[in-house]
């Protein structure tokens, strides 16, 4: 009887632990250094991934401390269980652009569910040399360099405690992702590095970027069409071009952007602060339910912007209004300094004026010598609440 009691108690304990969400099964570890010692760990990384992805138990692909050269690589699911890439060391991309022939990105992850990328390590795109040689900021026909990290159709995932430095192009690019969180994600690139957006989101839903530091030569975070239910909170953006939605209306049949919440962020020494932009003349679209709140601007050139005459390359017809509809947008509790006189500019479409725009508790001071700060509006009638500085349009 005594033995039976012990067995029943043990079984009950195991069932209890298994039912608790905070108790995880121990992960099976696949160390890439056990798969060969070549200078470029590309083959070892792919082999470790394939074994981990085939595991029916939760698995970890481990890159230990150290510095490793990693050529362009594509890894894909679906996997048989939850999977983690744990980067403790530094991964370096090839400097030579010819190594990326046939690749649009350095590291591509496809179709993975229950995914984690963590470890405190660094992805070094080694983009300084490439950015000095290319002219993609001036020549629209140039061949685009590779994105550092491309996430395609990743679901139920988290990227945390990871650093991306000196990307040759975008640092992180999301397509078709759902329920993916970036936390304590650090991005660093010099402020003159062209087109090095920090995180670009497209056709993705339920994305969170929280408690992260992003400094780059383009948009810290950019949202393309099809971005829905996006939360950006506790992000420091410095330097860069700010946090941007768009540009929209460039292509036919673009999906709408909706449910964007940007709050408790600090934006410093950037070209723009928070911005919504669309092309004139081209195609229709919708951006709605977008809210910017509790944001500090420090020496930002254009702190608050709606720009529906966005026209790089000077190749669009600015006289023909944008066909993108912008509505239900709010700017609340935004304060700090502007390094240009126009601290707030809301330039909406003549054919489709912005609707339901709310501006509340704005305090932006111009730090230059060209007179007081200005608030400019066109084709919009905002609803104002609380203190408004500069004086409302």
For residue 7, being part of any structural domain is answered with no
Q: Between 312 and 63, where is the model more confident?
A: 63
Q: Between 147 and 10, where is the model more confident?
A: 147
Please give the average per-residue pLDDT across 280-290, as a whole number.
95
pLDDT in the model for residue 371: 81
> Taking 90 as the threshold, does the pLDDT of residue 289 lie above it?
yes
Residue 337 near residue 297, CB atoms below 8 Å: yes
190-240 pLDDT, tens digit per residue, is 888 888 999 999 999 999 999 999 999 999 999 999 999 999 999 999 999
Enter the tokens of residue 128: 């300084």
Model confidence band, residue 33 (pLDDT cutoffs 50, 70, 90): very high
pLDDT in the model for residue 141: 64
Specify the CATH number for the domain of residue 266: 2.160.20.10
DSSP-based three-state secondary structure for 31: strand
Please give the average per-residue pLDDT across 64-73, as a whole number.
98
Measuring CA to CA, how many Å separate 88 from each of 31, 63, 157, 210?
A: 11, 6, 19, 21
For residue 19, being part of any structural domain is answered with no
| Segments forming the whole domain that contains residue 230 | 26-389
For residue 2, being part of any structural domain is answered with no
Enter the tokens of residue 24: 């995880």
> Taking 80 as the threshold, does the pLDDT of residue 293 lie above it?
yes
**Backbone φ and ψ of 294, nearest 5°:** 55, 65
Measuring CA to CA, how many Å separate 86 from each of 163, 187, 212, 371, 386?
A: 12, 18, 19, 53, 48
How much of the chain, in percent, has pLDDT values that exceed 90? Answer: 82
pLDDT in the model for residue 20: 39
pLDDT in the model for residue 139: 62
Enter the tokens of residue 201: 């989101």
295-330 pLDDT, tens digit per residue, is 999 999 999 999 999 988 777 777 789 999 999 999
For residue 3, being part of any structural domain is answered with no
For residue 198, being part of any structural domain is answered with yes
Q: What is the spatial distance between Cα 292 and Cα 261, in angstroms, rounded to a whole number? A: 6
> Taking 60 as the threshold, does the pLDDT of residue 2 lie above it?
no
- Distance linking the first and last C-alpha atoms of the chain: 85
How many structural domains is the chain composed of? 1
For residue 4, being part of any structural domain is answered with no
For residue 13, being part of any structural domain is answered with no
Catalytic site positions = 241
User: In 283-379, which ranges are E strands?
Assistant: 284-300, 302-307, 323-338, 342-347, 355-366, 374-378
Question: How long a stretch of residues is the chain?
Answer: 393
DSSP-based three-state secondary structure for 9: helix
For residue 80, being part of any structural domain is answered with yes
> Taking 80 as the threshold, does the pLDDT of residue 137 lie above it?
no
> Taking 50 as the threshold, does the pLDDT of residue 21 lie above it?
no
């Amino acid at each position: 009887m005594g033995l039976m009691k012990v067995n029943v108690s043990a079984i009950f304990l195991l069932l209890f632990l298994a039912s608790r969400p905070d108790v995880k099964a121990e992960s099976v570890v696949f160390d890439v250094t056990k798969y060969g010692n070549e200078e470029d760990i590309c083959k070892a990384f792919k082999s470790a991934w394939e074994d981990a992805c085939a595991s029916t138990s939760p698995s970890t692909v481990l890159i230990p401390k150290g510095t490793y050269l990693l050529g362009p690589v594509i890894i894909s699911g679906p996997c048989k269980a939850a999977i983690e890439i744990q980067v403790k060391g530094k991964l370096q991309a090839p400097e030579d652009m010819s190594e990326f022939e046939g690749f649009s990105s350095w590291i591509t992850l496809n179709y993975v569910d229950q995914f984690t990328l963590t470890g405190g390590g660094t992805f070094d795109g080694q983009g300084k040399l490439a950015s000095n040689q290319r002219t993609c900021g001036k020549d629209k026909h140039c061949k685009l360099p590779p994105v550092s990290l491309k996430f395609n159709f990743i679901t139920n995932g988290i990227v945390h405690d990871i650093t991306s430095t000196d990307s040759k192009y975008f640092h992180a690019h999301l397509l078709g992702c759902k329920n993916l969180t970036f936390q304590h994600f650090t991005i660093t690139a010099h402020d003159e590095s062209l087109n090095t957006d920090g995180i670009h989101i497209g056709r993705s839903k339920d994305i969170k970027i929280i408690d992260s530091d992003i400094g780059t030569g383009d948009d810290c975070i950019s949202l393309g069409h099809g971005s829905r239910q996006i939360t950006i909170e506790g992000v420091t953006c410095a330097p860069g071009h700010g946090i941007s939605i768009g540009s929209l209306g460039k292509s036919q049949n673009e999906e709408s952007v909706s449910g964007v919440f940007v709050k408790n962020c600090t934006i410093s020494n950037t070209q723009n602060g928070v911005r919504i932009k669309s092309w004139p003349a081209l195609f229709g679209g919708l951006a709605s339910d977008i809210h910017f709140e509790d944001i500090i601007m420090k020496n930002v050139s254009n702190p608050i912007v709606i720009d529906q005459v966005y026209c790089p390359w000077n190749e669009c017809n600015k006289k023909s209004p944008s066909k993108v509809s912008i509505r239900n947008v709010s700017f609340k509790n935004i304060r700090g300094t502007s390094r240009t006189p126009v601290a707030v500019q809301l330039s909406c479409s003549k054919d489709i004026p912005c609707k339901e725009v709310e501006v509340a508790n704005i305090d932006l001071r111009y730090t230059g010598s060209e007179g007081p700060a200005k608030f400019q509006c066109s084709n919009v009638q905002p609803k104002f609440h609380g203190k408004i500085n500069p004086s409302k349009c």
